[in-house]
């Protein structure tokens, strides 16, 4: 069972500790940090933490990709720190970045907390629509009325949900924002939509629908945050607490009705019209872009900029043409990793590909597939893009759309049933799945490790030889919490007296970092070892390091792995202490026979104790 607390501790240490974190939220698969100083984050250390897939920097955020277990790791971080609370993601915290990054950060922070509830109720609505289409439920019954209400309520009252998340982001009063949003969707106000001769103190009002709207509430809460700060500063202390919300609501709601609402309706209508024009005039182009590039957008965090467009299109036209081709993008990457599952002869890769295929097809969670398999192997990811583009183009040419916001996946396909040309949908999905699958199987890729790689269970202990001349130091004495507390694995540290690192056993190089400051090895018995030369030395960008091996290379005990200039590294202000740790603690949870004092390379350093040994000892 995954140790979420250990993963949380390792990630926190890797990003520079709680004090280096301005804010933290999570989405479907990632922890999204805004750091005070991204230079303090050690991507190598974070990626070595059990449970972490990879890291990325996009949209002004430092992202740690976890996969399906991200809510559990996020909860573990909350239990260990004060991070992740309601007020932890303020807009005024952390480095601002450029305007685009700030926009992406804002959209991410506002939509992330409600995304799963929105997707879950949207999926329920899709199932309900399918049930009516196939005659399983009569739309005239009270059963349908109840199910429709519980599946439609969140999207109907979306401004009220966004009021809370926007208030947290902009540091405004949540319940004042809630009151403003409530007025926008109040039944008597909703009934005025489209009616003539509406005035407010004699001022003509063009009433538009605020049901399911996005832009008006975000804009007005942003303005609310400034108004509140001003009023709380200038009003007398005896009355500011109740006069501030009264004034804000009294001014904000009419401002929306008079200006913000009509303007946003005009903008939203224009965007929806533009989207409709593309999908009607050159549908294959729009579908190919969404189907081919969606997962690329996700990698760089750019997809958050498109999420409001889905909702604007739905609010304006009652349908989402943009969403159909995204199904092709998601299923294409799942199909690519399924091809890897069939093609690879590597048992470790196959063990990763099986669950990644399942989560990709059923739940639409493709980060484990992309970051763990498709991207590192390159060709499967490219083939997935090709399949997604072709499938997306065909789906768009069929005019396929969704009437509910769902996370594209196999389970969510009901959202598309009956909406557009179903034959084209079937052909598009078949192409999106078969093309990358067949390309991966027939064209192939380079397996990172051959079929003789060790099985996923430890059988024997492994003696780890000292990789670098120096003095042995207890791991707990390393001045870096990620190593010292064992979060990243058990082992020791060496204070080097020479500038060369040698292989501590027969192994495969699984990670030869371009910066040269660290090497990851997998021994013939299955033990995985990280040799990390110095602390924070990744910041040197490879200066003073010289790699002698590459990823995938087989090495023998005593082979030279890398060279470094220790004096130059220390003059640059870096601690040269070198942790040597076992990173697959699930199979090798302990070390024994640890050496001490001065030690030459090639001498026994410690014994990595397998889980089998510990079990038999009991």
Catalytic residues: 27, 532
Q: Report phi then psi at 489, rounded to 5.
A: 135, 165
User: What does the alpha-carbon distance between residue 76 and residue 323 come to, in Å, rounded to a whole number?
Assistant: 33
Assigned token pair, 433: 């799945």
Cβ neighbours around 143 below 10 Å, total: 11
Contacts with 571 (C-beta within 8 Å, 6 or more apart), sequence order: none
Question: CA quadruple 168, 169, 173, 175: dihedral positive or negative?
Answer: negative
Place of tokens 């909860």: 75
Of the candidates 309, 298, 322, 326, which has an alpha carbon nearest to the alpha carbon of residue 389? 326
Question: CA quadruple 421, 425, 428, 434: dihedral positive or negative?
Answer: negative
Contacts with 157 (C-beta within 8 Å, 6 or more apart), sequence order: 181, 185, 211
Cβ neighbours around 48 below 10 Å, total: 24
Which residues are paired to 64 by β-bridges?
31, 55
User: What does the alpha-carbon distance between residue 579 and residue 585 come to, in Å, rounded to a whole number?
Assistant: 15
User: What does the alpha-carbon distance between residue 213 and residue 268 come to, in Å, rounded to a whole number?
Assistant: 9
Of the candidates 340, 327, 330, which has an alpha carbon nearest to the alpha carbon of residue 373? 340
DSSP 2-68: --HHHHHHHHHHHTT-GGGEEEEEE-SSEEEEEES-GGG--HHHHHTSTT--EEEEETTEEEEE--T
With b for 16 or more beta-carbon neighbours within 10 A and e for fewer, the 554-587 pattern comes to ebebeeebbbbebeebeeeebebbbbbbbbbbeb
User: What does the alpha-carbon distance between residue 23 and residue 75 come to, in Å, rounded to a whole number?
Assistant: 14
Instruction: Please name the residue ranges forming H helices in 399-506.
Output: 422-443, 481-484
Assigned token pair, 580: 């040597």
User: What does the alpha-carbon distance between residue 304 and residue 38 come to, in Å, rounded to a whole number?
Assistant: 21
Separation in Å, CA 280 to CA 273, 388, 396, 534, 607 = 10, 20, 9, 58, 66
DSSP class of residue 402 equals B
């Amino acid at each position: 069972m995954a140790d979420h607390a250990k993963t949380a501790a390792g990630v926190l240490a890797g990003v520079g500790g709680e004090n280096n974190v301005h804010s933290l939220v999570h989405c479907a698969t990632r922890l999204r940090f805004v750091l005070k100083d991204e230079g303090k984050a050690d991507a190598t250390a974070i990626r070595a933490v059990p449970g972490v897939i990879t890291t990325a920097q996009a949209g002004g955020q430092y992202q740690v990709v976890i996969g399906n277990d991200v809510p559990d790791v996020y909860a573990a971080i909350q239990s260990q720190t004060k991070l992740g609370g309601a007020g932890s993601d303020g807009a005024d915290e952390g480095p601002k970045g450029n305007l685009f990054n700030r926009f992406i950060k804002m959209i991410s922070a506002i939509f992330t907390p409600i995304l799963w509830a929105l997707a879950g109720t949207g999926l329920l609505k899709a199932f309900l629509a399918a049930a009516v289409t196939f005659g399983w439920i009569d739309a005239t019954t009270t059963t349908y009325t109840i199910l429709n209400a519980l599946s439609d309520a969140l999207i109907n009252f979306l401004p009220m949900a966004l009021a809370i998340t926007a208030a947290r982001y902009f540091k405004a009063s949540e319940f004042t924002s809630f009151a403003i949003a409530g007025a926008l969707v109040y039944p008597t106000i909703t009934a005025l939509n489209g009616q003539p001769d509406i005035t407010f103190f004699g001022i003509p009002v063009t009433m538009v629908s605020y049901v399911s709207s996005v832009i008006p509430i975000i804009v007005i809460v942003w303005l609310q945050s400034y108004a509140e700060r001003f009023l709380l500063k200038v009003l007398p202390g005896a009355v500011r607490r109740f006069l501030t919300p009264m004034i804000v609501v009294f001014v904000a709601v009419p401002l929306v009705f008079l200006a913000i609402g009509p303007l946003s309706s005009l903008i939203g209508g224009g965007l929806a019209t533009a989207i409709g024009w593309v999908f009607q005039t050159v549908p294959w182009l729009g579908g190919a872009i969404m189907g081919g590039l969606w997962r690329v957008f996700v990698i760089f965090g750019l997809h958050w900029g498109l999420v409001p467009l889905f909702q604007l299109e739905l609010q304006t036209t009652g349908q989402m043409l943009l969403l159909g081709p995204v199904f092709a993008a998601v299923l294409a990457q799942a199909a690519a990793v399924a091809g890897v599952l069939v093609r690879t002869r590597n048992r470790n890769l196959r063990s990763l590909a099986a669950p990644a295929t399942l989560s990709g097809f059923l739940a639409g969670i493709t980060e484990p597939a992309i970051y763990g398999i498709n991207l590192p192997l390159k060709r499967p990811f490219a083939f997935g893009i090709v399949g997604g583009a072709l499938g997306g183009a065909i789906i768009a040419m069929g005019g396929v759309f969704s009437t509910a916001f769902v996370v594209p996946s196999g389970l969510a396909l009901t959202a598309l049933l009956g909406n557009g040309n179903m034959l084209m949908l079937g052909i598009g999905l078949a192409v999106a799945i078969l093309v990358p699958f067949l390309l991966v199987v027939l064209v192939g890729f380079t397996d990172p490790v051959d079929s003789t790689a060790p099985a996923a269970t430890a059988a024997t202990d492994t003696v780890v030889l000292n990789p670098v001349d120096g003095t042995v130091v207890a791991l707990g004495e390393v001045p870096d919490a990620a190593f010292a507390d064992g979060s990243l694995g058990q082992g020791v540290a060496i204070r080097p007296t020479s500038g060369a690192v040698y292989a501590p056993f027969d192994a495969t190089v699984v990670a030869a970092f371009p910066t040269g400051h660290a090497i990851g090895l997998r021994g013939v018995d299955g033990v995985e070892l990280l040799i990390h030369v110095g602390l924070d030395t990744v910041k040197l960008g490879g200066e003073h390091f010289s790699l002698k091996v590459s990823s995938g290379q087989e090495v023998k005990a005593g082979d030279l792995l890398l060279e470094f200039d220790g004096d130059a590294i220390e003059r640059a202000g870096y601690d040269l202490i070198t942790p040597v740790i076992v990173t697959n603690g699930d199979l090798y949870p302990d070390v024994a026979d640890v050496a001490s004092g001065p030690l030459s390379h090639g001498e026994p350093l410690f014994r990595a104790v397998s889980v089998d040994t510990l079990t038999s000892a009991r």
